[in-house]
Amino acid sequence: MCAALALAGAASLLTNKPPIVLNQSTQEVEYQAPCAPPPVERNGVLCVPVRFLEENLGCQSFISGPTQTVARYFGLPILFATGNRVARVNKQSCDLSVAPFALGTDLFVPTDIVERHWGVRFRRLGKQTLGISASTCLPQSIRHSVSFDKTRVVIDLDRPGPYSVRRDGSRIIVRIWGALPRVTQGAPPASILPVPDIRDVLVRSVGVASLGAAGADLEIDLRYRAPATVFSLPDPPRIVIDCEKKFEEKVETAISTGLAHVSLRRGAPSGPVQVNAVRANLSSPGRKYRLRVIMAGNALRQCDSPSRVAQREGAIAAVNGGYFAGNGSPLGTVVSNGEWVKTSDLGRTGLLVTERQDVRIDTVKWVGTVVVSDRPAKPLGGLNTRYSQSGGLLVFTHRWGTSLDAKSGETTVSVSASKVTAVTHIDNQTGSNQATASATSIPIPPDGYVILGPRQLLNGIKTGQRCAIRWEVRGNGGGVRQVLEAGPRLLAGGHTKITAAEERFRADITSGRAPRSAFGLTATGEALLVTVDGRSPSESIGATLQELTEIMRRLGAVDAVNLDGGGSTTLVIHGKVRSSPSSGAEKRVSTILAIVPE
């Protein structure tokens, strides 16, 4: 389906441009163009850089050997060899008046061979200004085709003619020099140049951006910034613009000694993907860092923005942490700076940092015990949670709050400074406190904890007895300083290992594309804090778990774990957000994973 483009009210892109003269009888156009570096005359022959021909005629050039460069204009190639006075024009030898020569990074070539074979003439107007004369061409139609990895736009012409190309963000503007006067002599431009109605994931529209004294500006408006290749072909003469859906642009910038910000922009047939990551050598010579799991606040249910938490703790870089419930409480096991904050029975993948600062990604399985005086150790079922699959004793610290509501039939043991300070049994029938007849709200000592469980498990405990609690991660072989349980796992030993099914994740985590966050380790032990922006078709569509796994591998990870994503996805560097949160602003989270200097 084609639709004619109305030109009324179009903003001109052709103002303040070099003068142009059109010869109506010969249908030739002459326009002025700056030449930098300036042209050089040798033996009376004007020589110009090859890139000047690219910028002002629309020719394409490429290096074909150590000293050879090919310039092609509407399918007619000229092969130049530095220092060689013989060129090859369409595979036929041709003597040159001046041998091509290099000045800096530019190859200068004589213009007389270009004039002879491409039908273009040059004259010097000033030290750095040339006049270019050539036959004008008239756009006949614009068409397009869509394939898996690119969208091709073709501008059909009535004859070869000079054109130039420029980029303006996600727009590609092709100027056809001198086309306007020929267009306006006949039928209205909108009827002469119909444009296609494009419905494509990459190309939003194609049309005439403006008409003016210099010619016509034809614009390809892309939905996102993607690379494009522009070239011309003969028989019939046409300009081809290949807009690439699959691409990758990677920029790495130093943040601090041993730390770098990696911006990875990728194109896929489904749309663009923007990745931001921090690569950290935690044991960098001259400066060492610690990987820390940091709570947003003192209480378990407090949330805050990642940037505010990072600034408060002096973190150089940080990413949002693990999952959390609607009330702000973390859903996985959390150990922060040696303090056990909360446990979970989920047994999902997380990251662990040992006392020796060894970092690894592993399944988080813990064991907890409590010992009162010389009584046998009793197993613990959970920390700062009322849910326990094992049904063992539960422990509540100041992270839970200032008090704990005990239920009928439960017994609590209050511990302060490692000594039992109170034992309270809640009556099954009345719900009253047998010891004090007070309410069932049990204060939590700020320097201790409250143990909760059935009466039969806590019988015989008396005030004044010593009490000790021990927590450890199974298979750790030592103490842990940091634990952040999230999941699923993405990579193990360099191999894809997405454990979403084994870890019983719901479809809102496993299905579809979304903003994502992840943590990874490289083969050399570097840490990776990674975010993938999402929910923005023009900037970044997010990633599936499989795509996130490939991104982590592309960044060098051999082990990787998925973190909380969606609206929580946030990367902070020096207190500033470097990712693009999907809601337009940072979401308050319960934990962050941060890199702090020692």
pLDDT score at 116? 95
Name the least confident of 109-113, 199-203, 272-276, 309-313: 199-203
**Which stretches does DSSP call E strand in 7-149?**
20-23, 28-34, 40-42, 45-49, 60-63, 68-73, 76-81, 86-89, 92-95, 101-103, 106-110, 121-124, 129-135, 139-146
* pLDDT band for position 352 (cuts 50, 70, 90): very high
pLDDT score at 213? 63
Are 375 and 499 within 8 A, CB to CB? no
Q: Is the model's pLDDT at 15 over the cut of 90? A: no
Please enumerate in sequence order all residues whose Cβ is within 8 A of that of 66, keeping only pairs 6 or more positions apart, or say none.
Answer: none
pLDDT score at 525? 95
Q: Cα separation of 246 and 251, whole Å?
A: 17
Mean pLDDT for the chain overall: 89
pLDDT score at 477? 65
pLDDT score at 430? 47
First to last CA, the chain: 64
* pLDDT band for position 453 (cuts 50, 70, 90): very high
Name the least confident of 187-196, 203-212, 244-253, 376-385: 187-196
Give pLDDT tens digits for 59-104.
999 998 899 999 999 999 999 999 999 999 998 999 999 999 999 9
**Which stretches does DSSP call E strand in 445-554?**
448-454, 467-473, 480-485, 489-492, 495-496, 516-522, 527-532
Are 116 and 71 within 8 A, CB to CB? no
Are 170 and 223 within 8 A, CB to CB? yes
Give pLDDT tens digits for 374-401.
889 999 999 999 988 877 899 999 999 9
Give pLDDT tens digits for 546-569.
999 999 999 999 999 999 999 999
* pLDDT band for position 371 (cuts 50, 70, 90): very high
Give pLDDT tens digits for 18-67.
477 777 677 788 899 999 999 999 999 999 999 999 999 999 999 988 99
Q: Is the model's pLDDT at 464 over the cut of 70? A: yes
pLDDT score at 199? 79
* pLDDT band for position 350 (cuts 50, 70, 90): very high
pLDDT score at 388? 86
Q: Is the model's pLDDT at 181 over the cut of 60? A: no
Name the least confident of 35-44, 158-167, 378-387, 419-428: 419-428
Are 454 and 445 within 8 A, CB to CB? no
**Which of the pair, 286 or 398, is modelled with greater confidence?**
398
Name the least confident of 66-80, 284-298, 388-402, 422-436: 422-436
Length of the chain, in residues: 598
Please compute the mean of the pLDDT values over residues 569-581 and round it to a whole number: 97
**Which of the pair, 498 or 179, is modelled with greater confidence?**
498
Share of the chain above pLDDT 70, in %: 91
* pLDDT band for position 427 (cuts 50, 70, 90): confident
pLDDT score at 7? 28
**Which of the pair, 474 or 163, is modelled with greater confidence?**
163
Please enumerate in sequence order all residues whose Cβ is within 8 A of that of 288, keeping only pairs 6 or more positions apart, or say none.
Answer: 282, 597, 598
Taking each continuous run of H as one helix and of E as one strand, the counts in the chain are: 8, 50
**Which of the pair, 492 or 6, is modelled with greater confidence?**
492
* pLDDT band for position 501 (cuts 50, 70, 90): very high
- Residue 319 bridge partners (DSSP): 571, 593
**DSSP conformation class of 406:** P
What percentage of the chain's residues is helix, strand, coil (to nearest 5)?
Answer: 10, 50, 40
Domains recognised in the chain with CATH numbers: 28-135 (3.30.457.10), 136-244 (2.60.40.3500), 252-363+479-597 (no CATH), 366-473 (2.60.120)
Q: Cα separation of 35 and 53, whole Å?
A: 10
Name the least confident of 32-36, 50-54, 193-197, 471-475: 193-197
pLDDT score at 157? 92
Q: Is the model's pLDDT at 3 over the cut of 80? A: no
Angular region, 523: left φ>0, alpha ψ -120 to 50, beta rest? alpha
Q: Cα separation of 201 and 312, whole Å?
A: 42
* pLDDT band for position 239 (cuts 50, 70, 90): very high
